[in-house]
Structure 1
Amino acid sequence: MNQLERLRKYTTVVVDSGDIECITRYKPQDATTNPTLILKSVLSKKYDFIVNNAVQYAKKMGGSISQKIQNASDMVSVGFGAEILKYIPGYISTEIDARLSFNTEQCIQKSIKLIDLYRIHGVDVSRVLIKLAATWECIQAAYQLNKLGILCNLTLLFSFAQARACAEANVFLISPFVGRIYDWYKKFCLDSSYDAVTDPGVLAVKKIFKYYKKHMYQTIIMGASFRRIEQILELSGCDRITISPDLLEQLKTQNFSFARKLDATKIVTVVDQPIPLSESEFRFLHNQDAMAVEKLSEGIRQFSCDQIKLEKFLLHTL
């Protein structure tokens, strides 16, 4: 039994990729995409049929050039998601425009639009997770979307305050970014010789896992953004783990045994849950964590930049 097979005994394995060929190769339960991964797949030219379909849809809908770009861009993301769903049994996560991350109403409207586009593809929308950055505004959007039957994946999650607010909003799933937390501490801390046990990103997910299971929150924890397979193995037993193709290949080719690290059945539960955070409490606690503030902002900027690059590419096709 290789490490990937063993990991699947403890954890639901998800592929973090927009490359459909990769997804068919590793046969994950679920898959996740983001603007960076979508842009990479678009520029590879392997999926021009998805881009062409999106462009034709945008032209058919008409409107200003700005409206056409938005419609084409949204349909590209949904097109990749719909195609990926043909090869997996579970969920696809599709991310909205990161530039909307501080506007609750616009996040809701964009999410509804993406779900409607999935319906045009004939997709069972109960298999779609809308990805939103874990800002206060997006967490509130996810709370409202859940009431409409739209499930969300709160991404770019770095602080415990973000994780707590998501659970209190009954968010379906969160994606703590293990690798990016590790990157920050590796860069800014003098004592940065972390092994898997002392890795700050790993410890952050373990803390969230213990807190969620203790208070019986139903929000799913999906570790994300890994740099080394040791980080992944140290979180074996986490609800879900989304893994890049290169690390999946490493897991597939190694046979070293490892023990399960996280087990919800061994955590003592309590009936009462803490009083939910207010907006001011959330903002204060989140801003106490310099790493989380910096990495959340950086992530939103990066995804926004790649969204703009995708739109510029589409502009030349309209």
Structure 2
Amino acid sequence: MGSQPANALGTLQDAGTKFKPSEGTTNPSLLYSAAQNPAYYHLLIRAIKYAKSLSISLPSEERLQLAAEFLAVQFGTEIYKLTGRVSTEVDVIHSFNKEATIAAALRMISLYAAQGVPKDKVRIKISATWEGIKAASFLTHEHGISVLITIVFGMVQAITAAEAGVACIAPYVGRISDWHKAQGMTGGDKGVEIVRDMQNYLRKYGYGTKVMGASFRNTEQVKQLAGTDLLTISPVVLELLEKEKGDFGPCLTSESAQAADLPKVSYINDENAFRWAFNMDACAVEKSAEAMRKFAEDSKKLEGLLAEML
């Protein structure tokens, strides 16, 4: 069960001592929050030194992006020391550029190697766009890199990522649920239902891609998705789970997968089919764009902090 740092590494350290998570993860919002904590000022200093070591011919914007990338790896290295595995996200600004995504991923793997973190202990997080999934396929098959496709809100993203052979996908359970509630949906939890379908589909058709459920709002969502390959759960929800009485078993099994009425489809070789299916899923379109905008905003804030120090 993966555990996600809430606002700073100290939260993960506390959770790691108590819950022994199998890995930790970062995203731009978490990094921006952690970077404001004085306890990690030394990591920012390292990023500034790195930025100053770069070629003076680089545009200032690119220099800041590379410094933020370096800082993400510094935080990731600290998480790796606590959990033994870490996921780090490619800047969402590259979400629609396959080549830039590949280049950023390879840079981060090299930066981790320089910190003594082996490639097989790093997952590179990439947005669930057509270009992102194609970049993930290349990184997986040509470089043996473990890729986690993130910002997943719809079946088309999950299926295409699985066809690409990536290691994991991260569907946002709570955010999917939030969107459907905002549309007036009552009865059942749509976030749980959609992620349940993703897990059952991937198992039914024998894909090796793991589902890593994320963005849990409450313990009930966790319990209803028990049996999912991996769960990224905040320390807050883990604490609430610990306080609940009674045991609960897996809801998602090989039997539930085979029983699921989910016809097989394919998108990996048909960009038009992927984009059309994605376009027809209003939740996926709206929430994916919202998540990328938010991450991009926090990335810029982080770069702003670095710019002030430079």
Q: TM-score, normalised by structure 1?
A: 0.89
Alignment of 1:73-92 (within 5 A): 73-89=68-84, 91-92=85-86
Tell me the residue number matched to 2:198.
Answer: 208
Give the whole-Å Cα distance in 1 for the aligned partners of 2:279 and 2:180.
17
Partner AA of 1:315 in structure 2: A
Q: Which moved more, 1:287-296 or 1:55-64?
A: 55-64
How far the C-alpha of 1:54 sits from its partner, in A, is 1.1
Q: 2:106 and 2:11 mapped to 1: Cα distance?
A: 29
Aligned to 2:162: 167
Instruction: Summarize deviations over 1:250-289 as a string: whole Å, max 9, x none.
Output: 12333333232111255439xx975444111111111111
* Secondary structure in 2 matching 1:262: coil
Q: Is contact 1:16-1:243 (8 Å) kept?
A: no
* 8 A Cα contact 1:237 1:262, kept in partner: yes
| Preserved CA contact (<8 Å) 1:33 1:93 | yes
Q: Distance in 1 between matches of 2:258 and 2:292?
A: 36
- SS of 2:2's partner is strand
Q: Specify the SS of the correspondent of 1:221.
A: strand
- 5 Å-filtered alignment, 1:9-48, equals 12-17=1-6, 19-27=8-16, 28-48=21-41
Instruction: Summarize the Cα distance change of 1:275–1:289 in structure 2 as closer, same or farther, 3 Å threshold.
Output: closer
C-alpha contact (below 8 Å) 2:3/2:235 kept by paired residues? no
**1:55-78 per-position Cα deviation (integer Å, ceiling 9, x unaligned):** 111112242433431222111100
The 1:230–1:219 alpha-carbon spacing in structure 2 relative to 1, beyond 3 Å, is same
Paired amino acid for 1:42: A
| SS of residue matched to 2:216 | coil
Over residues 205-227 of structure 1, what are the superposed CA-to-partner deviations in whole Å (9 max), with x where a residue is unaligned?
11011111110000010000111
1:248 alignment counterpart = 238
- Aligned residue for 1:302? 294
Pairing 1:144-293 to 2, within 5 Å after superposition: 144-146=138-140, 147-189=142-184, 191-192=185-186, 194=187, 198-264=188-254, 267-268=257-258, 274-277=265-268, 278-293=270-285
Post-superposition offset of 1:16: 4.3
Q: Secondary structure at the match of 2:73?
A: helix
Partners of 2:253 and 2:8 in 1: how far apart?
A: 32
Q: 1:99 to 1:182 in 2, by over 3 A?
A: same
Deviation at 1:249, TM superposition (A): 1.8
The AA in structure 2 aligned to 1:213 is: R
CA distance in structure 1 between the aligned counterparts of 2:256 and 2:215, rounded to whole angstroms: 26
Letter paired with 1:145: L
Query: Does 2:303 match 1:311?
Result: yes
Question: Which secondary structure does the structure 1 equivalent of 2:252 belong to?
Answer: coil
Aligned mates of 1:200, 1:66 — CA distance in 2 = 40
Q: Larger relative CO (CA 8 A, sep 6+): 1 or 2?
A: 1
Paired amino acid for 2:224: E
Aligned length: 300
Paired residue secondary structure (1:174): strand
Amino acid at match of 1:39: Y
Q: Distance in 1 between matches of 2:236 and 2:199?
A: 26
- Unpaired segments ≥5 residues, structure 2: none
Q: Which runs of 5+ in 1 are unaligned?
A: 1-11
Aligned to 2:65: 70
Q: Once the two structures are aligned, what percentage of the paired residues are identical?
A: 37
CA RMSD of aligned residues (A): 1.9
Q: State the shift of 1:151 in Å.
A: 1.4
